[in-house]
């Protein structure tokens, strides 16, 4: 765990509410990782500590709903790629930025950063941004997604691999490679939560 934390500075922020904050003063924590790696668990643990969360995938799901599409992996993938084609690679980040600014907390967590262009969009507004990447093997991730059974989760290995390729095609691998903190999630949920709680206390609560 100590090695995972070496790349990160102490941020010196607490999730207490402050209604008037310069955007440059906000600390933004971006969560990234392949589908099924454990991003939603990271989100839950940060929420335990009172940090507000902005979920980038909600923007894609909302767009699919506008188009009256069933939120399957294929449909959401098409919507994501179409948005990027029509409005640029940083479109989802640009849509999330006003929501982040509207939050009074000095620390905001963003779930689902997928490309370095999105990181650039965020850092242009919030220079004090850190990226946490979570890693798990393909087999582990696939089994988790099968058990989760959300409408946009793959039901076969073929669909799973296609989704992975789609995610990597927009630059997700680059974000994971450039992350400030890397966490491996191959154990139980409770073990991972405890690892995350230690991380939050050590890095984001001082």
Q: Could you list the pLDDT tens digit for every one of the 206 residues in the chain?
A: 433 443 333 343 444 444 456 777 899 999 999 999 999 999 999 999 999 999 999 999 999 999 999 998 889 989 998 999 999 989 999 999 999 999 989 999 999 999 999 999 999 999 999 999 999 999 999 999 999 988 888 889 999 999 999 899 989 999 999 999 999 999 999 999 999 999 999 998 86
Which pLDDT score is estimated for 20?
Answer: 52
Looking at residue 170, its pLDDT comes to 87
Predicted TM-score of the model (pTM): 0.84
What pLDDT shows up at residue 23? 75
Residue 181 φ/ψ, nearest 5 degrees: -135, 135
What pLDDT shows up at residue 74? 86
Look at residue 21 in the predicted model and tell me its pLDDT. Answer: 62
Cβ atoms 39, 111 nearer than 8 A: yes
Q: What angle do CA 193, 199, 201 make, to 5 degrees?
A: 105
Residue with tokens 């903190």: 181
- CA 161/CA 142 separation, integer angstroms: 9
**Count of C-beta atoms within a 10 Å radius of residue 98:** 9
DSSP code for 35: T
| pLDDT for residue 9 | 34
The whole-angstrom separation of Cα 93 and Cα 110 is: 10
- For the chain, which domains are there? 22-203 (3.40.50.300)
Q: What is the pLDDT of residue 6?
A: 36
Are the C-beta atoms of 47 and 105 separated by less than 8 Å?
A: no
């Amino acid at each position: 765990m100590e090695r995972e934390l070496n790349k990160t500075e102490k941020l010196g922020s607490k999730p207490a509410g402050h209604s008037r904050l310069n955007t440059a003063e906000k600390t933004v924590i971006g969560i990234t990782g392949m589908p099924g790696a454990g991003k939603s668990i990271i989100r839950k643990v940060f929420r335990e500590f009172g940090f507000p969360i902005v979920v980038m995938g909600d923007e894609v799901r909302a767009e699919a709903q506008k188009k009256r599409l069933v939120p399957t992996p294929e449909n959401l993938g098409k919507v994501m790629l179409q948005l990027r084609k029509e409005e640029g690679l940083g479109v989802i980040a640009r849509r999330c930025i006003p929501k982040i600014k509207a939050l009074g907390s000095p620390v905001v967590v963003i779930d689902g950063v997928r490309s370095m262009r999105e990181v650039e969009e965020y850092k242009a507004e919030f220079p004090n941004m850190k990226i946490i990447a979570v890693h798990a093997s393909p087999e582990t991730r696939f089994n988790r997604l099968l058990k989760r059974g959300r409408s946009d989760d793959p039901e076969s290995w073929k669909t799973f691999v296609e989704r992975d390729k789609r995610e990597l095609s927009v630059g997700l691998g680059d974000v994971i490679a450039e992350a400030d903190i890397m966490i491996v999630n191959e154990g139980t949920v409770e073990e991972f939560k405890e690892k995350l709680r230690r991380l939050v206390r050590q890095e984001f609560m001082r």
